[in-house]
Amino acid sequence: MRRPRVLLALLFAILCAVCTIWVLIDRRPPEWDHANHLERAVDCYRSLRIVSDSGAREIVEASSFYPPLVTCVTGALYFVFPIAPLTAQAVMMGFLGLALACVYALGQRLSGAETGLWAAFFLGTAPFVVFSLTNFQLDLPLAAMVPLALYALLRAEAFSDVRWSLALGVVLGLGMLTKPPFAVYVLPPFLWSLWRAMRSPERSRRLGWAAAALAIAAALALPWYGPRLFGLPMQILSRSFKQAAEQQNPEPLTAAGLLYYPRTLPTQLDSLPACCCSGGSGRSGATAPPDRSSGSPRSGPSPSSP
């Protein structure tokens, strides 16, 4: 038990060292979303200094498209450390540590410590993850919040555990404040747990805690999503088509467009993890761990990290 955690900490330390060295020697100015997120982090730092309602309002209204969690975590860090590239990337390192710990914990709980360690290794060494570690983007925080939510969902045991059900609500709210696609990854396993709760003899009690989790998530996320509830989906579609055209990507629903992600997946995850991902997807209907709350085995898809 102790050795895998030491290896996990060593992996995290090596990745942090790589990121630190890269940031210190890289003199290129940030561009695109990287620059926009850094600018919003500084804006959030300035807003946090305003101890009034106007400061909170400026944080909520800072961006019509990107939630404020990651940029404001960075803005808060600017109170302690200088406004410098390494400070911003320290936030990315923190989210990487969270992602590695959650993926390891998921693997350990579902299959054993060795599985968890390999899953964390594949995640941490994926080319796109290393790239995200050296750029201030929202993809790495998203990749941390999703396994955190899946772990909380797993520990909630179909909403039979009160503390983990309430903790899940907090994580869901914070995940939605990280990046909107969070819901796409978490919704299927959440619905699966909800279906298990509905089949339980304690259905009323479990559904009550599921509703409490959703209420907590809504209380955290709605202040930002409320004013954007109807306009955000159209923004996402508009940006997707516009950016695809700017980057000269294939047209949607064409053969080239449908094959785009299968072709690029090995370059983003590396070949071996991509094969494991494909194999895991094909076995998603395999038997899952027993339901500890009822002592009976269950079958169906088990949560997996993005």
Lowest mean pLDDT among 15-24, 39-48, 52-61, 297-306: 297-306
Categorize the per-residue pLDDT at 306 as very low, low, confident or very high, splitting at 50, 70 and 90.
very low
Please say whether the beta carbons of 304 and 280 come within 8 A. Answer: yes
Q: For residue 148, which of 187, 102, 180 has the smallest C-alpha distance?
A: 102
Sign for the pseudo-dihedral over CA of 59, 97, 92, 303: negative
Q: Is the confidence at residue 295, as pLDDT, over 70?
A: no
Helices (H) and strands (E) in the chain, counts: 15, 0
202 contacts: CB under 8 Å, gap ≥ 6: 160
Q: What is the pTM of this model?
A: 0.79
Domains of the chain, residue spans: 1-137, 138-229
Per-residue pLDDT reduced to its tens digit, 157-190? 999 999 999 999 999 999 999 998 899 999 999 9
User: Measured between alpha carbons, how far is 29 from 20 in angstroms, rounded to an integer?
Assistant: 16
* Pair of tokens at residue 75: 């803005």
User: Measured between alpha carbons, how far is 22 from 130 in angstroms, rounded to an integer?
Assistant: 11
**Residues β-bridged to residue 124:** none
- pLDDT score at 268: 66
- pLDDT score at 276: 61
Q: How many CA atoms lie within 13 A of 297 on its CB side?
A: 4
Quote the crossing angle between the two packed helices 32-48 and 69-77, to the nearest 10°: 60
